[in-house]
């Protein structure tokens, strides 16, 4: 199935503009269920209800409020919210080029493909320049009334755009609880390094599938055909043993797998 553009704009680098089209790079495959009424098997609807009276609140009586203190709200109407929206634009402005290592992985959010839209020479020249210089472009743009910050990189001679999370959304590893208890000894460190060496390989995304989704789809398909499939319970993990025993067991299992292969 051919990819369909979801947005069009221009990459802006100072006075240079490169027309581009935006495509989704991922497709949501999450298992979703409809909420049905038990007897009629028809979809049920959600309604806004007053928690005190239990009565439905009409759409025209619903307001948006921002809670500034527990139980205290600042009410904003449609006109006020419209004035706060960012100015509409079709420009993706590149503000600077940075080494890829400067953008921590926890900042990356959603990936998109940027395809050429007319001037292909300028588009592929930029993609090649980013690849040769080993740089990523930091960008700002507005799409569907929402401001975004992102990163552009060259992937397989094309451009990819990643939305980036804002700094206030990202938690630092420094905020995690500090390790307690003893540090690993030399034997455990050596065994851990050996385990890493035994598991060296190349990442193949086709080897990793959503097993839960496959089980649900398989079960639903069989049940739809009138069968009564049996569900096999997923075994729970046993309690964790001592670190050296766990590592030793893993190493021996991997050695046996390699010999068998």
pLDDT > 70? residue 145 = yes
In 88-185, which residue ranges form alpha helices assigned H by DSSP? 120-133
User: pLDDT band for position 261 (50/70/90)?
Assistant: low
For the beta carbon of residue 114, count every other beta carbon within 10 angstroms.
Answer: 26
More confident residue, 258 or 31: 31
Mean pLDDT of 69-90: 94
152-172 confidence digits (pLDDT tens): 999 999 999 999 999 999 998
CA distances 236 to 233, 239, 240, Å, are 9, 9, 12
Mean pLDDT of 214-233: 80
Q: Where are the domains of the chain?
A: 7-26+86-169, 186-201+208-260
pLDDT > 80? residue 118 = yes
Q: Which two tokens stand for residue 51?
A: 């928690």
pLDDT > 70? residue 243 = no
pTM of the model: 0.78
Q: Which two tokens stand for residue 118?
A: 């007319």
CATH 2.40.290.10 fits 7-26+86-169, yes or no: yes
């Amino acid at each position: 199935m051919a990819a369909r553009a979801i947005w069009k704009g221009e990459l802006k680098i100072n006075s240079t503009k490169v027309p581009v089209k935006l495509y989704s790079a991922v497709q949501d495959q999450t298992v979703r269920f409809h909420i049905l009424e038990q007897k009629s098997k028809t979809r049920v609807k959600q309604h806004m209800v007053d928690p005190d009276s239990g009565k439905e609140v009409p759409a025209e009586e619903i307001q948006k409020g921002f809670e500034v203190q527990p139980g205290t709200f600042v009410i904003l109407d449609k006109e006020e919210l419209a004035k706060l929206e960012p100015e509409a634009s079709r420009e993706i402005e590149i503000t600077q080029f940075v080494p890829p290592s400067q953008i921590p992985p926890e900042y990356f959010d959603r990936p998109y493909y940027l395809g050429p839209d007319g001037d292909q020479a300028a588009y592929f020249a930029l993609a090649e320049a980013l690849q040769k210089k080993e740089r990523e472009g930091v960008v700002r743009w507005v799409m569907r009334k929402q401001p975004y910050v992102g990163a552009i990189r060259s992937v397989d001679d094309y451009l990819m755009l990643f939305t980036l999370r804002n700094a206030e959304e990202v938690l630092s590893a420094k905020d995690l609880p500090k390790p307690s208890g003893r540090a690993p000894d030399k034997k455990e460190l050596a065994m851990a390094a050996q385990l890493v060496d035994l598991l060296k390989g190349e990442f193949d995304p086709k080897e990793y599938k959503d097993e839960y989704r496959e089980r649900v789809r398989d079960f639903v398909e069989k049940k739809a055909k009138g069968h009564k499939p049996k569900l096999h319970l997923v075994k729970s993990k046993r309690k964790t043993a001592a670190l050296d025993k766990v590592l030793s067991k893993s190493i021996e299992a991997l050695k046996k797998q390699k010999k068998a292969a």
